């Protein structure tokens, strides 16, 4: 068998080369990527003769994608025709944004004929006027030839090469034209529909949406090759740069549309600042697309088209969480946009292969998005209509909310005692007299503490404490009349025991609070509480421009003085005798009389009682065990028997040195022994402090 017969035999029986493209009469757009060999020409200067001597590397993908770089790529592949008839077919580069493609076709004499296409030449110069780059080829019977392709472009190095038989290519064109016709038909219908609505309702949302819609459509036309075919067939530079330009413009108007549609300047102020930043970056990207080369422009535009849909989805979720119902369609629409543009961007960056989904995913996503966004705009109009119809209701609710807010400054109980329905009914000079129990609390050494805190820390600390105290007061039938710096003034209109119970629960809550402070690295605090009952007047004071509620009377002043005495006696809670006398079951509490005083500005003698339920158990039990002896010593002290009283106080102190009041009376007895009082001595201490 001679050599020619051997070759013919293998061509008939099978491919001589494992990686050859074997032609048939039914080529249906097979991607030939895995039959390609490639070489990267980093000099961008190699000729065909030089390249044919260089080793090529096999491609492993059906649609090779090398991303963005500045190199020239050479491809080669072998074509076999094992039949006895000449086969005509098409070689299609289905990526329409390529600067220059040179196809080297083998001739009979061993030379190569070059055919060139690309954006470097006008659309009208193409051999076949088709939106993608198309080369009509033919292969002689019983032949095998190597073809070479040289690709030089600033755009993505994406090489989706397909081969088609004549009939299959015509069928493919008809399918694509139908698909793209539907797509652009949807875009056109949505454009005119929203233009009509803009003219009808004059909502600025439609203005921004229409401009976004126009730019999104132009991006698709550029990627599909239609803009170069129909709009600027003679402009090589703009045929590339228009893609990042319209991507960036679409991002700019899309974000502005979202801001107005979702009302982020009012509803999501922090998110709105981020969206404004994205708009600024989109504006920069527009400028870059006009002054820079294609690679940096398309990279920036592509990154934006990944970030913007994600940002829109997050913003929409926040709007939905805020109860903004029109955001429903907006959310679903941007989900489709994210999927479509994300797939396209990943393909452009070489992260995904070329397939039907990556090829048409953006068009599908955008078509669904524009439809849903139009529905969202319609839904928003309906919502605005409802809002208008409910304006009076909203106004009334707003008024009620304002009154509710005012009630946080004027307690409801205060209005009740003034016999007023709401804050609106309160007038200057309104007043009423009642018998109530007043509780004052004050933080020990707060002035020293505040010197080591910033104003923000001081307010945070006070609010942290007060929010624990007020519920306790309310649960015990009281209410806070006012906060005076670090002090709290509360009123208990029903029973003095309500105030006593509240004071004990506050001290109990303070233990837990101090544990929290210690765990957080802060020093524990202590508070003093004074409780007194009596008549007082609730009313309003001020002027015609500003009024305030207040409580006045000796009862209030005395309660404040009693609270201040907790520091002097170093005890947590002090009751006046008027409170003590109204306790029905005194055995429920740990109480002892500690002094009789005349406070500053008052002539009436006030008997003070210590409430020591909150003392540590050991100290509490010792006080109770010593109570009778303490009362005996106190009677001796008041009757002038200072030496005997001193002996008893001294013994009690030795047994219980933690009882601070014993120290006070030891000092008093020693002083009075050395400085005997007058015959009018009654054992009443005069308090010169407030």
Contact 208, 99 (CB under 8 A): no
Tell me the DSSP string of 184-214: HHHHHHHHHHHHHHHHHH--HHHHHHHHHHH
Candidate from 272-281, 390-399, 531-540 with smallest mean pLDDT: 390-399
Q: How confident is the model at residue 77, as a pLDDT?
A: 94
Reference 276, options 295, 251, 302; nearest CA is 251
16-30, 156-170, 254-268, 629-643, range with the lowest pLDDT:
16-30
Locate 429 and state its tokens.
Answer: 């000079």
CA distance 62 to 66: 13
In 3-state terms, what secondary structure has residue 252?
Answer: helix
Express as a percent the part of the chain with pLDDT over 90: 32
- The residue with tokens 């040289």 is 150
The predicted model gives 656-665 an average pLDDT of: 92
Q: What is the mean pLDDT of residues 65-89?
A: 91
Residue ranges of alpha helices (H) inside 322-411 are 327-348, 356-389, 391-407
DSSP conformation letters of 557-585: HHHHHHHHHHHHHT-SEEEEHHHHHT-S-
Judge whether residue 4 has pLDDT over 50. Answer: no
Residues in the chain: 690
- At 393, is the pLDDT very low, low, confident or very high (cuts 50, 70, 90)? low
Q: Residue 374: its pLDDT value, please?
A: 72
- The whole-angstrom separation of Cα 530 and Cα 577 is 12
Q: Are 345 and 305 in contact (CB under 8 A)?
A: yes
Rounded Cα distance, 553 and 549, in Å: 14
Q: How far apart are CA 602 and CA 599, in angstroms?
A: 6
Residue where the block lists tokens 């995913």 = 361
Taking the C-alpha atoms of residue 631 and residue 641, their distance in angstroms, rounded to an integer, is 13
Return the ∠ at Cα 42 (arms to 37 and 48), rounded to 5°: 55
Lowest-pLDDT range of 104-118, 203-217, 499-513: 203-217
Query: Following DSSP, what letter does each residue of 500-517 receive, concatenated?
Result: HHHHHHHHHHHHHHHHHH
- Which of 46-60, 405-419, 541-555 bottoms out in mean pLDDT, i.e. has the lowest? 405-419
- Tell the burial category of 403 from Cβ atoms under 10 Å away from its Cβ (0-12, 13-18, 19+): middle
CA distances 210 to 197, 205, 419, Å, are: 10, 9, 59
Which helix (H) or strand (E) segment holds residue 256: the answer is helix 236-262
Tell me whether strands 143-152 and 606-611 are parallel, antiparallel or unpaired. Answer: unpaired
What distance in Å separates the CA atoms of residue 575 and residue 609, rounded to the nearest whole number? 5
Q: How many CA atoms lie within 13 A of 370 on its CB side?
A: 29
Whether 38 contacts 56, CB under 8 Å: yes
The pair phi, psi for residue 136, each rounded to 5°, is: -80, 130
- Express each pLDDT in 230-285 by its tens digit: 898 888 889 889 999 999 999 999 899 889 888 899 889 999 999 999 999 999 99
What is the rounded CA–CA span in Å between residue 412 and residue 216?
Answer: 58
The secondary structure element, H or E, covering residue 444 is none
The residue with greater pLDDT, 387 or 366, is 366
pLDDT of res. 476: 93
Are the C-beta atoms of 219 and 243 separated by less than 8 Å? yes
Is the pTM above the cut of 0.85? no
Summary mean pLDDT of the chain: 83
pLDDT in tens, 297-314: 988 988 888 888 888 889
DSSP assignment of 6-45: HHHHHHHHS-SSTT-EE--S--EEEE-GGG-EEEEETTS-
Beta strand pairing call for 112-117 and 28-31:
unpaired
pLDDT band, very low/low/confident/very high, at 15 (cuts 50, 70, 90): very low
Lowest mean pLDDT among 59-63, 408-412, 459-463: 408-412
3-state secondary structure 467-493: HHHHHHHHHCCCEEEEEECCEEEEEEC
Give the pLDDT of residue 325.
77
Other Cβ atoms less than 10 A from the Cβ of 677: the count is 12
Residue 509: exposure state from Cβ atoms within 10 A (0-12, 13-18, ≥19): middle
More confident residue, 25 or 153: 153
SS (H, E, C) 131-152: CCEEEEEEECCCEEEEEEEEEE
Is 11 a residue whose pLDDT tops 60?
no
> Residue 48 above 90 pLDDT?
yes
pLDDT, average across residues 317-338:
80
Give the mean model confidence (pLDDT) for residues 552-568: 88
Neighbours of 122 (CB within 10 A): 14
Query: CA 550, CA 541: separation in Å to the nearest integer?
Result: 7
Q: 350 is written with which tokens? A: 């070489």
Q: Residues 609, 577: contact at Cβ < 8 Å?
A: yes
Residues 54, 563: Cα–Cα separation, whole Å: 99
The C-alpha atoms of residue 613 and residue 593 are separated, in whole angstroms, by 14
CA atoms within 13 A on the CB side of 51: 25
Backbone phi and psi for residue 110, each to the nearest 5 degrees, phi listed first: 90, 0
Phi, psi of 188 (to 5 degrees): -70, -45
- 397 CA to centre of own chain: 28
* Phi, psi angle pair for 45, to nearest 5°: -135, 0
Asked if 376 contacts 333 with a C-beta cutoff of 8 angstroms, the reply is yes
Contacts of 301 (CB under 8 A, 6+ apart): 243, 244, 247, 248, 251, 285, 289
pLDDT tens sequence across 507-526: 999 888 888 888 888 888 88
Say if CB 245 and CB 295 are below 8 A apart: no
First-to-last C-alpha distance (Å) of the chain: 128
18 close to 80: Cβ distance less than 8 angstroms? no
Identify whether the C-beta of residue 211 lies closer than 8 Å to the C-beta of residue 260: no
């Amino acid at each position: 068998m001679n050599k020619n017969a051997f070759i013919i035999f293998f061509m008939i029986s099978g491919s001589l080369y494992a990686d050859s493209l074997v032609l048939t009469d039914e080529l249906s757009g097979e991607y030939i990527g895995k039959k390609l060999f490639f070489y990267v020409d980093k000099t961008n200067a190699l000729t065909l003769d030089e390249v044919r001597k260089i080793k090529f590397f096999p491609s492993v993908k059906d649609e090779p994608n090398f991303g963005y770089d500045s190199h020239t790529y050479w491809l080669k592949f072998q074509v076999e025709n094992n039949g006895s008839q000449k086969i005509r077919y098409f070689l299609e580069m289905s990526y329409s944004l390529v600067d220059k493609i040179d196809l080297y076709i083998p001739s009979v004499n061993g030379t190569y004929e070059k055919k060139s296409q690309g954006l470097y030449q006008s659309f009208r110069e193409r051999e076949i006027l088709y939106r993608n780059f198309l080369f009509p080829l033919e292969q002689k019977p019983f032949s095998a030839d190597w073809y070479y392709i040289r690709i030089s472009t600033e755009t993505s190095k994406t090489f989706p090469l397909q081969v088609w038989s004549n009939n299959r290519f015509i069928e493919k064109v008809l399918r694509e034209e139908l698909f793209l016709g539907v797509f652009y038909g949807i875009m056109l219908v949505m454009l005119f529909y929203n233009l009509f609505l803009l003219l009808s309702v004059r909502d600025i949302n439609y203005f921004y949406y229409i401009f976004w819609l126009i730019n999104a459509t132009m991006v698709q036309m550029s990627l599909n090759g239609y803009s170069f075919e129909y709009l600027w067939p003679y402009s090589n530079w703009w045929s590339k740069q228009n893609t990042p330009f319209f991507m960036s413009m679409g991002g700019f108007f899309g974000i502005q549309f979202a801001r107005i549609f979702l009302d982020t300047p009012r509803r999501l102020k922090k998110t709105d600042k981020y969206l404004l930043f994205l708009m600024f970056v989109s504006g920069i990207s527009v400028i870059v697309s006009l002054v820079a080369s294609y690679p940096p422009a398309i990279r920036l535009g592509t990154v934006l088209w990944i970030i913007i849909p994600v940002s829109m989805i997050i913003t929409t979720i926040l709007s939905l969480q805020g109860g903004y119902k029109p955001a429903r369609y907006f959310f679903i629409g941007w989900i489709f946009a994210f999927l479509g543009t994300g797939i396209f961007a990943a393909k452009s960056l070489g992260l995904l292969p070329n397939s039907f989904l990556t090829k048409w995913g953006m068009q599908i996503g955008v078509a669904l998005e524009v439809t849903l966004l139009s529905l969202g705009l319609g839904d928003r109009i309906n919502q605005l209509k409802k809002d208008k119809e409910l304006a009076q209701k909203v106004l009334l609710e707003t008024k009620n909310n304002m009154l509710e807010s005012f009630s946080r400054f004027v307690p409801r109980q205060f209005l009740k005692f003034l016999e007023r329905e709401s804050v609106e009914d309160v007038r200057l000079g309104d007043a009423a007299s009642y018998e109530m129990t007043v509780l004052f609390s004050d933080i020990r050494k707060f002035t020293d503490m505040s010197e080591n805190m910033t104003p923000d820390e001081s307010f945070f600390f006070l609010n942290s404490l007060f929010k624990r105290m007020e519920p306790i007061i309310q649960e015990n039938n009281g209410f806070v009349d006012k906060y005076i710096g670090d002090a709290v003034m509360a009123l208990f209109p029903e029973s003095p025991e309500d105030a006593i119970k509240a004071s004990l629960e506050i001290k109990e809550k303070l233990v837990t609070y101090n544990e929290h402070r210690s765990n957080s690295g802060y020093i524990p605090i202590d508070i003093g509480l004074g409780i007194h009952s009596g008549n007082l007047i609730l009313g309003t004071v001020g002027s015609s421009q500003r009024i305030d509620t207040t409580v006045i009377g000796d009862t209030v002043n005395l309660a404040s003085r009693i609270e201040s005495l907790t520091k002097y006696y170093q005890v947590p809670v002090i009751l006046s005798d008027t409170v003590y006398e109204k306790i029905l079951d005194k055995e429920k509490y740990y109480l002892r009389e500690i002094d009789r005083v005349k406070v500053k500005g008052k002539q009436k003698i006030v008997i003070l009682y210590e409430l020591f339920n909150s003392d540590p158990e050991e100290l509490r039990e010792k006080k109770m065990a010593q109570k009778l002896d303490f009362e005996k010593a106190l009677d001796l002290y008041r009757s002038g028997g200072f030496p005997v009283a001193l002996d008893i106080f001294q013994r009690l102190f030795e047994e219980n040195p933690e009882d601070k009041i014993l120290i006070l009376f030891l000092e008093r007895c020693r002083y009075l022994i050395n400085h005997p009082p007058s015959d009018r001595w009654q054992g009443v201490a005069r308090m010169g402090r407030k």
